[in-house]
Amino acid sequence: EVQLVESGGGLVQPGGSLRLSCAASGFSFSDDWMSWVRQAPGKGLEWVARIKQDGSAKYYVDSVKGRFTISRDNAENSLYLQMNSLRAEDTAVYFCARDLAVSGTIDFWGQGTLVTVSS
Amino acid sequence: QSALTQPASVSGSPGQSITISCTGTGSDVGTYNLVSWYQQHPGKALKLMIYEVNQRPSGVSNRFSGSKSGNMASLTISGLQAEDEADYYCCSYAGSIIPYVFGTGTKVTVL
């Protein structure tokens, strides 16, 4: 059974940093692209970042470029999102997701971790 | 990329059929046959219900079906059941740089 478990969310002041983690199990993590998707309170979903199987390619939505960094550790079956220079508009639940790049589909999601940026 | 447009809410009685629309553009829905639909119950992980416009993952009820015409995709739920009450989001592949654009979300209410 595919499982994705996020952690690392919390309350942070504007301008602060946070590192999210996602522990993957139940599939061959190193075979798949992975993505982070976020959902602001009461709002819809927004794709944030994506990383290739070996970490050699990374893509970001414009609003987080230069501030967020996606990375992975295939030996640990873990995905990360380093978030710097956080803004109030980054407040959201952040989901880790398995990204089937070949079929242009995200097929499995974690339950998410809440990031609140507020003074 | 702008969000795909969905109706805010759709409702139906048990046993009825409902359809949720998802309107995009020629840069996403209209170009790629890579539209997926997700179900979200409060506090739960999103669940993939339809992928590649009309394909159902293993374990998803055949009461759920998808279609696409031009820049608009649709999700139909037949034989509506109480457990179908949830939020539904469409998603379209939109290219390698910004790969996914999501819909605005639709709350389905079973009357």
How many whole angstroms separate alpha carbon B15 and alpha carbon B1?
A: 37
B99 contacts on A by Cβ (under 8 Å): 35, 47, 50, 59, 99, 101, 104
Q: What pLDDT digit, counting tens, does each position of B35-65 carry?
A: 999 999 988 899 999 999 999 999 999 999 9
> Among partner residues A4, A37, A107, which is closest to B48 by beta-carbon distance?
A107
> Among partner residues B32, B43, B47, which is closest to A104 by beta-carbon distance?
B32
Q: What pLDDT digit, counting tens, does each position of A101-118 carry?
A: 888 899 999 999 999 999
Tell me whether B3 touches chain A (CB under 8 Å). yes
B96 contacts on A by Cβ (under 8 Å): 59
Alpha carbon of B75: minimum distance to chain A alpha carbons (Å)? 16
How many whole angstroms separate alpha carbon B71 and alpha carbon B30?
A: 4
> Among partner residues A44, A101, A104, which is closest to B104 by beta-carbon distance?
A44
Q: What pLDDT digit, counting tens, does each position of B65-75 carry?
A: 999 999 999 99
Q: What pLDDT digit, counting tens, does each position of A5-61 carry?
A: 999 999 999 999 999 999 999 999 999 999 999 999 989 999 999 999 999 999 999
A50 contacts on B by Cβ (under 8 Å): 99
Three-state DSSP at A102 gives helix
What pLDDT was estimated at residue A103?
Answer: 83
Are B28 and B4 within 8 A, CB to CB? yes
How many whole angstroms separate alpha carbon A113 and alpha carbon A17?
A: 15
A101 contacts on B by Cβ (under 8 Å): 99
Question: What residues have CB less than 8 Å from A89, skipping those under 6 apart?
Answer: A40, A63, A117
What percentage of chain B has pLDDT greater than the value 70? Answer: 100
